[in-house]
Structure 1
Amino acid sequence: MTAWAHSLIRISNYEVETLQKRLAEITARRASAEMRIAVLDAEVEIEREQSRGDADAAMLLQAYLSGWKMRRSAALTEVQTLDLEEEGARDALTGAFEELKKFEHVAETTRLNAIVAAGKRETAAFDELGLRRRAG
């Protein structure tokens, strides 16, 4: 493999690895945001259950629900934003993989062409040697 092909493949591999790490980080952040939503949903059910048997808790429930709706809405917005970010990261990773495969294909084609050219040179040298022996 030529030096330029090796360099291009190495750079492309680095880009793919970087994008894979970015995608993993985005996925972890999205999972964390989804977990916050699940916890908020569980907490609101607990508050609603407690308010059924306690008059003081029932009076405070509306204020709690108002704050809960804002926190849940913020978490949902974060999940939606992360979904878009994840989609973009996946597209970038797909593009990087495609570029890597193109470079690997070009490098392999170049290598095979070099082998064919070397074979042709060797055959030509043997042909020339044969002609010299006949003439000589």
Structure 2
Amino acid sequence: MASWVKSLIRISTFEVETLQKRLAEVATRRTHVEMKISTLDAELALEIARAAQEPAFSFDLTAYKRGWTQRREQCVSELELIAHEEAGIRDSLNGAFEELKKFEHVAETTRLSKMAAELKRESAAMDEAALRLRFAG
């Protein structure tokens, strides 16, 4: 295999691996934000239950809900940004993977062409040797 093909494959493999790592990091961030939203929802449910049992807390519940709404909306916005980033990385990863496959295909085609040419040369040499033996005998 030509060194330039090996270099292209190495570079493409590195790009694919780098994008896979970025995708994993983004997925981890997404999971953390999703967990934060779940925690906020659980905390709200807890505050509602507490206010239902203790009427004095019901006055604070309205203010708590406003703060909760703002924090949750902020998390949802962050989650939407992460989703867009994740989609972009997935697109880039698909493109990089396709490029890698093209380079690997070129390398394999080149290898098979060289092998076919070598077999053709060997076959021609054997035919020539057979002809010499036939006419020499």
TM norm structure 2 = 0.88
Following superposition, the deviation at residue 124 of structure 1 comes to 4.1
Q: CA deviation at 1:120?
A: 2.8
User: Which residue of structure 2 aligns with residue 31 of structure 1?
Assistant: 31
Deviation at 1:116, TM superposition (A): 1.6
* 1:115 corresponds to 2:115: yes
How far has the Cα of 1:95 moved from its partner? Answer: 1.1
Q: Which amino acid aligns with 2:38?
A: A
Amino acid in the other structure paired with 2:89: A
Deviates further, 78-87 or 116-125: 116-125
Q: Deviations over 1:12-43 (max 9, x none)?
A: 11111101100100100001000000000000
What CA distance in whole angstroms lies between the structure 2 residues aligned with 1:130 and 1:49?
96
1:21-100 superposed matches below 5 A:
21-100=21-100
Q: CA deviation at 1:91?
A: 1.2
In structure 1, stretches of 5+ residues that fail to align are: none
Gap regions ≥5 residues in structure 2 = none
Distance (Å, rounded) in 1 between the aligned partners of 2:54 and 2:119: 91
What is the DSSP-based 3-state SS (H/G/I as helix, E as strand, rest coil) of the residue aligned with 1:111?
A: helix
Paired residue secondary structure (2:80): helix
Alpha-carbon RMSD across the aligned residues, in angstroms, is 1.8
Q: Which residue of 1 aligns with 2:106?
A: 106
**Cα drift, residue 126 of structure 1:** 4.8
Between the aligned residues of both structures, percent identity stands at 53
- The equivalent residue for 1:14 is 14
Task: Please state how far the C-alpha of 1:122 moved relative to its aligned partner.
Answer: 3.3
